[in-house]
Chains A and B, each alone.
Chain A
Amino acid sequence: EPEVTQTPSHQVTQMGQEVILRCVPISNHLYFYWYRQILGQKVEFLVSFYNNEISEKSEIFDDQFSVERPDGSNFTLKIRSTKLEDSAMYFCANTGAGNTIYFGEGSWLTVV
């Protein structure tokens, strides 16, 4: 299976701090997604990103969140001022022209 790489695998941060989660997508797969899973809950869509623009975002993806491709290859999710309820596993995902989305291993964010 194609591989999407995420860093860090686990981050603990103080409430109110900024967090940046990073993703290295599959080569030539140009459509990016961020999903998250709060412990014990379902996998939730956050945002999709294509051609350097947000294509779609959910209600969860408020002004505290942003995404970008800082160097044309990596893909980042930034949370400006973390809240306790942001604690979750964040998954970067990637797709090409097909319908199958491939997920990274996840970044576990703990806000204390």
Chain B
Amino acid sequence: DQQVKQNSPSLSVQEGRISILNCDYTNSMFDYFLWYKKYPAEGPTFLISISSIKDKNEDGRFTVFLNKSAKHLSLHIVPSQPGDSAVYFCAATLSGGYQKVTFGTGTKLQVIP
């Protein structure tokens, strides 16, 4: 049962342009969402998160949007840089701490110089 889905396995974007990575979830109990970035042979690195009480959270070049009614979130990277090339995982959990995190399958982003 794939509770968190990233339907695009890969994405290519020109440097300087916007990268938009999408994620859908099925479990309506999830109320806290995270994005992680992962390089090959390294652990996932936390990027940004959003609580279900918000619909947008911004941190520098990264913005996460949440549409609860559609059970959809997206990560926007503006402007995209070659160093952003990595696999991005969407993840969902229950707020309140001490909860497991459920990951999507990941989207491989390639930023072309």
Are the CB atoms of B46 and A48 closer together than 8 Å?
no
Is the CB–CB distance between B43 and A106 below 8 Å? Answer: yes
Q: Is the interface of B mostly helix, strand, loop or mixed?
A: loop
B101/A101 in contact, CB under 8 A: yes
A16 at the interface (CB under 8 A from B): no
1/0 contact string of A35-70 vs chain B (CB within 8 Å): 100000111110010100001100000000000000
Q: Verify B103–A106 contact, CB threshold 8 A.
A: no
**Cβ contact of A99, chosen from B43, B45, B49, B105, cutoff 8 A:** B49
Partner of B98, one of A42, A55, A105: A55
Chain B 59-113 residues near chain A, CB threshold 8 A? 89, 93, 95-106
Q: Are A43 and B98 in contact (CB under 8 A)?
A: no
> B68 → chain A, closest Cβ, in Å?
17
Interface majority SS (helix, strand, loop, mixed), chain A = strand
Question: Beyond A42-B105, A98-B97, is A105–B49 a contact (Cβ under 8 Å)?
Answer: no
Distance (whole angstroms) from the CB of B52 to the closest CB of chain A: 11
Asked whether B43 lies within 8 Å of A97 as measured between CB atoms, the reply is no
Q: What class of interface size applies to chain A in its complex with B?
A: 20 to 34
Number of interface residues of B (CB under 8 A): 24
With contact pairs A42-B106, A99-B32 given, residues A91 and B43 touching in the complex (Cβ less than 8 Å): yes
Given contacts A43-B89, A91-B43, A104-B43, contact A96 B100 (CB under 8 A): no
B44 and A103 within 8 A (CB): yes
Which residues of chain A are within 8 angstroms of B44 by Cβ–Cβ distance? 43, 91, 103
In angstroms, Cα B55 to Cα A78, docked, is: 41
Contact call B46/A101, Cβ cutoff below 8 A: yes
Complex A-B, nearest 5 residue pairs according to Cβ-Cβ distance, in ascending order: A103-B43, A42-B105, A43-B103, A105-B43, A31-B98
Q: Show the binding face of A for B, using Cβ within 8 Å.
A: 1, 4, 6, 31, 33, 35, 41-45, 48, 50, 55-56, 89, 91, 93, 95-106, 108
9 pairs, CB–CB < 8 Å, chain A vs chain B: A1-B46, A42-B89, A42-B103, A45-B100, A48-B98, A50-B98, A99-B32, A99-B34, A103-B45
